[in-house]
Amino acid sequence: MAEQKNLNEYNEDSIRSLDWREHIRLRPGMYIGKLGDGSATDDGIYVLIKEVLDNCIDEHTMGYGKQVEISIDGKQVTIRDYGRGIPLGKVVDVVSKINTGAKYDSKAFQKSVGLNGVGTKAVNALSQYFKVTSHRDGKEKTAEFERGVLINDHKEQKTSEANGTLVSFVPDETVFRNFHFIHEYLDSQLWNYCYLNAGLSLHFNGKKYVSKNGLLDLLERKTNADELRYPIIHLKGEDIEVALSHNNDYGEDIFSFVNGQYTTQGGTHQQAFREAYIKVIRDYYKKDYDAADIRGSIVAAISVRVQEPVFESQTKTKLGSQNVYEGGPTMKKFVEEFLAKELDNYLHRNPAVSEALRKRIEQSERERKELAGIKKLANERAKKANLHNKKLRDCRVHLNDDLPAKNKEEFIATQKNSTIFITEGDSASGSITKSRNVDTQAVFSLRGKPLNAFGLTKKVVYENEEFNLLQHALNIEEGMEGLRYNNIVIATDADVDGMHIRLLMMTFFLQFFPDLVKRGHVYILETPLFRVRNKQETIYCYDETEKQAAVAKLGNKPEITRFKGLGEISPEEFGRFIGEEMRVQPVILEQGDHIQQLLEYYMGKNTMERQEFIINNLKVELDLVD
C-alpha cells in the first residue's frame, strides 16, 4: 500500500509564488470587495466599471477630456475617454503589471482616486475578455487579454481617432456567477461622478449626464423642495464643497466624496463634517443643543480634494487620511475652519434660514424628550420578550456581539455578509430556519400583518411590539452605525397577502429608517413558483416563461407543482433558494424619487389614482402572459 502523504507537512514545496493574475483571481475580494451577482450596489461587477471610470475621471481632473462614453451591451462594458491616452509603449504594462501606472508621480496626478496601480489590472484578471486601445497623437495601440493572459498584442498603427483610451471587457462568469447589471445602480453612480466634476459630460447608452452646480444639484435631485425646511445651503472653498438642509425624514442622510469618489462608508472627512457641524451650530446659537437634535433630519453632502488619499480598502469606500496633505492641517481642523467661517457667515446673512434651522432643531429636541419615557418601557418589553429565543433566530456571527472579536477584520467581513430574513408565519419561518446557513443567516418571524406605518410618528415604533422587536433585532435605534445585518431580506408568500405584507414592511422602513433603503440594505426574496420534474431531472421556475421552457425541455408530461406559499417548500429544497443561487430583488430608490411622495401615492388615500395605476399595470401583465 502506497504511503499516504502527510497533509500537514510544511517544507519548501509548501511555498508558492503567485503572479499578479493568479493572486487577483485567487483572492478577488481583496481587490474588488464582494463578488455578488449585481443585486447589490457594492457587488464586484460595479467596482470593475468604477475602476476603469476612475482613470477617466482622473484625466478630466487633470484638465484632459470633458467627455466619457459608456455602453453596456448584454454583459459587455465599453468605456471611452478623451484624455491624453496611455503612452503607447506602456499600454500592455499598465493593464497587466501590478504597481505600474502614472499616479505614483504626484506631479502628473496631484489629487487622484487611484494611487496603487491595481485597478485596471484587477478588471483585466477578472474578465473573460479584456481589450484596451490607446489613441495618442495620431497613433494607436491595442492589446487583448483573456482572464489576464495576453492573447493579442497588436502593433502600433496610424489613426484619425481623437486622443484617449478605450477599454472593453466582459466580467468572468466563472467568478461572477449569473451576474446582471442593474442600470439604476449605474445611473446613480454616473450622476455622482457628474456632481463632483463640473463640466464633465457622461454618455451612457444614449443618456447624457452633466451637472453645472455640483453638490447643489445632488441635493436638489435627492430631496423634494416642498419637504425642505429651508433652501439648500451651498458652500464652496478651495478643495472643499458642502451642501445641506433639513427635511422631515428620520435619521441623517450624509453623502461624502473624496477626489470625485463616493465614499459609501464615510471616513475621516464625513466624521469631521458631523463633528464640525455640531460645533458651529452650538457656537452660532450659543446653546448646547444635543448632537442628535442638530443632525436629526439633516440631508447633506461634503466633497474634499486630498493629496494622495489613504483608503481603508482597495474599493475606496472609506477614507482613512488624517491630513489633507502631507504636513497640512488635519481633516477635522480643515473642515471645522471652513464651516466656522462659511456656514457662520451664511447664517448671519440669512436670518430667515437661521430661524428655520433653529425651529427644526428644537422640534427634534421636543420629539426626543417625548419619546424618552416610551423608549425606556419599550426596551424593557424587548428584554422580557426574550427576543433571541422567540422572535429572532440569530446567526452565529452575532450570538457573541458583546465579546471582543479575535480577528476584527475577519469579524467585520463576516458581519458584512450577514443576512436577516423577515418572514411571516410558523411554517415559512420554520423552513427557512431549518435550511439557512446558521453562521451568517438569521430569521425574524412576524406575527400576522404588520401595522401600516404611513403618516405615523416614531412613537409607534416603540408602542407596536412587532416594530419595537424588529428595531432591536436590527440594532438601528441609535442609527445605521449599529446595523447588525448587511442584508435585510423580506421573505413572503407570492400571493396577495404576501405582497401586502411586503408592502407594509417597505412602508415601515421608508417611513422610519429610510437610510436602510437608500444604502441598499433591503431586498425582496424571490422563490420559485413552480417545480417541474421527471424521473431524471428537477427544474425550479420563477415565472411562467421559465415553466414553459422547463416543460419543453423535459417533455413527456412532467410533474408540475405550483408553490402557493413558502411553507410548502421543504427545508431541503429551500436550502437551494437561500444559498449561493439565492435570487433577490433589491429595493431601489431611483434618482428623483422622494419618499413621502411615494408613500402618499401607494399608501395614502388617493384611491382612484392608485386604482387606475393597478388596472393599467395589471393589463400589461396579462398581455405578457397571453
Q: Which of 69, 73, 78, 100 is nearest to 87 (CA)?
A: 100
41, 189: one domain: yes
334, 434: one domain: no
- Helices 595-603 and 607-625, axial angle in degrees (round to 10): 80
**pLDDT confidence of 37, banded at 50, 70, 90?**
confident
CATH of the domain at 131: 3.30.565.10
Domain of residue 147: give its range: 20-210
What span, in angstroms and rounded, lies between the C-alpha atoms of 46 and 10? 39
Q: Which pLDDT tens digit goes with each residue over 118-176? A: 688 999 999 999 999 999 999 999 999 999 999 999 999 999 999 999 999 999 999 99
What span, in angstroms and rounded, lies between the C-alpha atoms of 270 and 279? 14
Q: Spell out the residues 6+ positions from residue 622 whose beta carbon is closer than 8 angstroms to its own.
A: none
Question: pTM (2 decimals)?
Answer: 0.76
Beta-sheet strands, E only, within 211-343: 233-237, 240-246, 253-258, 261-262, 298-304
393, 355: one domain: no
Contact call for residues 428 and 444 (beta carbons, < 8 A): no
Which DSSP string corresponds to 358-391? HHHHHHHHHHHHHHHHHHHHHHHHHHHTTHHHHT
CATH of the domain at 456: 3.40.50.670
Query: Does 612 map to a domain?
Result: no
- The confidence score (pLDDT) of residue 99 equals 58
542, 396: one domain: no
Burial of 62 (0-12, 13-18, 19+ CB in 10 A): middle
Report the DSSP beta bridge partners of residue 540: 531
46, 148: one domain: yes
Query: Does 606 map to a domain?
Result: no
Q: Which pLDDT tens digit goes with each residue over 304-344? A: 988 878 877 656 678 887 887 777 788 889 999 999 999 99
Cell 436629526: give the residue.
296
Q: How many domains does the chain have?
A: 4
Stretch among 11-25, 88-102, 365-379, 498-512 having the lowest mean pLDDT: 11-25
Cell 502628473: give the residue.
108
Query: Does 3 map to a domain?
Result: no
Q: Spell out the residues 6+ positions from residue 442 whose beta carbon is closer than 8 angstroms to its own.
A: 392, 393, 394, 395, 398, 418, 419, 420, 421, 436, 473, 485
What span, in angstroms and rounded, lies between the C-alpha atoms of 215 and 221? 10
What span, in angstroms and rounded, lies between the C-alpha atoms of 213 and 194? 10
339, 391: one domain: no
| Greater model confidence, 600 or 457 | 457
What span, in angstroms and rounded, lies between the C-alpha atoms of 18 and 28? 13
Q: Spell out the residues 6+ positions from residue 279 whose beta carbon is closer than 8 angstroms to its own.
A: 336, 340
What span, in angstroms and rounded, lies between the C-alpha atoms of 423 and 411? 26
Count other C-beta atoms under 10 Å from residue 96's C-beta.
Answer: 22
Q: Which pLDDT tens digit goes with each residue over 9-19? A: 655 555 455 67
Q: Spell out the residues 6+ positions from residue 140 whose beta carbon is closer than 8 angstroms to its own.
A: 88, 133, 134, 156, 157, 158, 159, 161
233, 138: one domain: no
